Structure 1
């Protein structure tokens, strides 16, 4: 491997100056589909609020209806089927995204993954710290809800950015996407570790055996749904009965799908679509169009009364959630990004400014799907604290969307204005000197005598 010569300084790495083909496809998929998913998620939440307030008895009767056999503890009410069953589809898609990013995306490069990963960690530590501080300082605190404000809803956050941030550089979109993916990964770890009391090891091993059989079948080219769906359902049911939250099975199954290019068709070219990409296209509409909206329908249904709204902003649980998401998320994301760029070689991509990072940090405060799930795990359903969590998450997500959207809309106009005011170097040189030779088209290859290692920061490759 080449080493740095004495007396020379290695060029600073830039953040997402150029995306890998796998990340470009992943980013395009997310930006294309998540806006619709975010709108459907919002529709599900609004329908839940209307139903729970206009016909509360009907809402409680439907959400509390028990369905399923008692074997493997599958006699669940509708609300738990939505949280434990339908969200497994959502987490399966999350697992596919994580697998693709790790295999062919930005998470396979330490240099480019370091900054958004640090931002995701900071964006979870700061909200948790604020929540714990509020609940420790106020009487009646409930520290077990510390994880509620730590999660970012990728559907809403990316959807808002896609709507209002049309002029921002693609590097910022990639930053938010990767941050949200790492945030999902950390949330999965929190759910698996922080909300698991007693574990039946034998059932966990049985679930893992089903996941292994699922992975082996895919690698052997056995892709019949009559084989894969029963294996997936068995993995989910066994993990649910073991005491580990069943949505983790969705993540494990997503990780089991091959993500290398060409894995969809044997013998295909290296740049052919992967099996993970195919399954993501196949299952994302199910997740965004059905699973998540139905979950929101049975998770966001709280009867809003004056006392509930007042308690949300006066009691430690609701106040901790609101402050954690609205203040903690942008503070943690921005500070962690600043520290990582200061003490490592990672740098923001050319053209990005700290107001861009602040805008993304504000959008990170949109915590919906996973925040509501964690709230139900921490406080159950129907409790006073659970209602405060729902109202707090909804209020904080609205504030985060409005403030983050406003900042990024402004930044989009700034970037668009700069792009229009600054003429390309070739045009500027020819305007100053009409005799200048014509510009050489940029083919993406390094200039003569320039190696890949000594390209300017931000060059593709």
Structure 2
């Protein structure tokens, strides 16, 4: 909504009696001089070559995260994203060239304007016109735009850069090597990365290569990895030191300890994500979306092959390139869609990928100069394509819901099957008002700490809460440990076993588990027999099937009164969610 408001404001300003002030503003020169060195650009270039580098740096950070522990770790999804992304760049470019070339070819250099998708606008449109629940479709489209953005930025660097200057280019390459070395050394402090990225930006700007490419590559070289549990545990000890003896030095030690537990990539992304979305991209929109449509410009644009090339490339090219490539890749077994996403939703998302605002306007400025006749015509094409792509996506989503039943494009959000006191393991009163279900893996360190929240929750809710554990073994020792827990349950020792074994996650071999049975006073012979029985294996499989049907794919996953909890799962969050559920239940009772 912010982007829509800013874009509308830019268009109104550019077509108002104050139009000249709009264009004069972006021509204002600004510069920095440090001794013999200086950098002087007009405001428009500071935004497009400066602020937008932050945007592309954030994109690079996100790409690295996806490869490290996101959707691109799954080879089939990464392959599907690569196929759809490459096709979603190539087909629009071909469509543009065919449309413009058929009219004489004036403006062919603008083919790059149709290759990129504006992620922010696309996701905003998806939230408005997409299915009621579209989390998995959103993940698919984000993965796709990762490839899309990388290719688009590469195209800018290769085809839309100025004359290359060797010395600054060598300095830029040296900065990239330095970032790679920092990555290899697992440097946890963000300051060295930021310093090198600033030098890299200045060198790239001086080299003649568009700085967006440097931003993207720099983001790719900042290390990302899952949170390190042992570092979190170490930080807890540091906080304990601060609690016992608060001082500036111990507080600083806590801050350093927490930083070491989270990758530099995620910390920089967290710092830059909101400023990029709420400041950088809107300022870019304000500086680039203003097109003076007076004096017959609109009529001229609608008769221009460049305008129609942009419209056809973005709306038709993206729809066909992404949609058909995805359909063929899935049918041929070259990749698989996220669970819960149908092909109707894919084509709806493919239509929305024709919203190419940010990248399109940037390339138009490089290819034509946005204030030229061809630049204005191409910009009109981008704005028209945004509206048409949104309408096309909305239409496809409606048809998919009505014809193929694709009312959602997400994982299930409700617990399947409901809690059964005859089968499930329940801690607390069986007829409690509130129910908390956790899917666990005995080798998952986060499960051990999340499961420990039960004591805090029980103190708060007492007999109003029942706690249920189901199995979702996905670590190497998880299946065996889950069967061992069920074998202990056969002797009515499930909860003592859970508490005992979660404190010994480092040793879950068969011999270790049999030893734990002896320590807990179980009948070891019966325990071993049950451990290998088909009945116990079937019990674990039941829980695993329940997890899949409920949309739980990782541990720990919580369900509050049958609804899957997303986001944080600390005791405070669980308490707030349970309180909200209790208030909702009481409201329904009073209304009844």
Q: TM-score, normalised by structure 2?
A: 0.62
- Aligned equivalents of 1:424, 1:246: Cα separation in 2: 48
Q: CA RMSD in A?
A: 3.5
Mean CA deviation greater in 165-174 or 307-316: 165-174
Pick aligned residue for 1:91 from 25, 39, 56: 56
Secondary structure of residue in 2 paired with 1:76: strand
Does 2:164 match 1:199?
yes
Summarize the alignment of residues 73-222 of structure 1 with structure 2, pairs less than 5 Å apart.
Answer: 74-139=39-104, 141-165=106-130, 167-213=132-178, 219-222=186-189
Does 2:312 match 1:318?
no
- Is the CA contact (8 Å cut-off) linking 2:131 and 2:408 kept in structure 1? no
Q: 1:434: which partner in 2?
A: none
Q: 2:7: which partner in 1?
A: 45
- Is the CA contact (8 Å cut-off) linking 2:345 and 2:409 kept in structure 1? no
Does 2:444 match 1:444?
no
Does 2:239 match 1:277?
no
Q: Which 5+ residue runs of structure 1 have no aligned equivalent? A: 1-38, 431-436
Summarize the alignment of residues 338-349 of structure 1 with structure 2, pairs less than 5 Å apart.
Answer: 338-349=327-338
Q: 2:221: which partner in 1?
A: 256
Who wins on radius of gyration, i.e. which is larger?
2
- Aligned equivalents of 2:355, 2:233: Cα separation in 1: 40
Tell me which protein shows more strand as a share of its residues: 2
Distance apart, 1:310 and its partner CA: 2.2
Q: 1:19: which partner in 2?
A: none
Q: TM-score, normalised by structure 1?
A: 0.79
Distance apart, 1:67 and its partner CA: 1.3
Does 2:231 match 1:267?
yes
Secondary structure of residue in 2 paired with 1:347: coil
Pick aligned residue for 1:60 from 23, 27, 42: 23
Q: 1:231: which partner in 2?
A: 196
User: For 1:181-208, what per-residue CA distance to the aligned partner results, in whole angstroms no more than 9, with x for missing partners?
Assistant: 1111111111111112422232122123
- Is the CA contact (8 Å cut-off) linking 1:115 and 1:340 kept in structure 2? yes
Change (3 A) 1:148 1:448: same
Secondary structure of residue in 2 paired with 1:146: helix
Pick aligned residue for 1:329 from 318, 335, 340: 318
Change (3 A) 1:184 1:327: same
Q: 1:20: which partner in 2?
A: none
Q: 1:384: which partner in 2?
A: 373
- Aligned equivalents of 1:378, 1:404: Cα separation in 2: 29
> May I ask how many residue pairs the two structures share in their alignment?
410
Mean CA deviation greater in 73-82 or 347-356: 347-356
- Aligned equivalents of 1:310, 1:73: Cα separation in 2: 44
Mean CA deviation greater in 362-371 or 372-381: 372-381
- Is the CA contact (8 Å cut-off) linking 2:355 and 2:386 kept in structure 1? yes
Structure number with greater CO (CA < 8 Å, separation at least 6) is 1
Secondary structure of residue in 2 paired with 1:346: coil
Secondary structure of residue in 2 paired with 1:257: coil
- Aligned equivalents of 1:251, 1:72: Cα separation in 2: 26
Distance apart, 1:410 and its partner CA: 6.2
- Aligned equivalents of 1:252, 1:346: Cα separation in 2: 26
- Is the CA contact (8 Å cut-off) linking 1:73 and 1:241 kept in structure 2? no
Mean CA deviation greater in 385-394 or 192-201: 192-201
- Aligned equivalents of 1:154, 1:179: Cα separation in 2: 10
Distance apart, 1:103 and its partner CA: 1.2
Mean CA deviation greater in 387-396 or 309-318: 309-318
- Aligned equivalents of 1:87, 1:49: Cα separation in 2: 21
Q: 1:26: which partner in 2?
A: none
Distance apart, 1:287 and its partner CA: 0.9
Summarize the alignment of residues 333-412 of structure 1 with structure 2, pairs less than 5 Å apart.
Answer: 333-408=322-397, 411=400
Change (3 A) 1:199 1:73: farther
Q: 2:237: which partner in 1?
A: none
Change (3 A) 1:328 1:269: farther
Q: 1:433: which partner in 2?
A: none
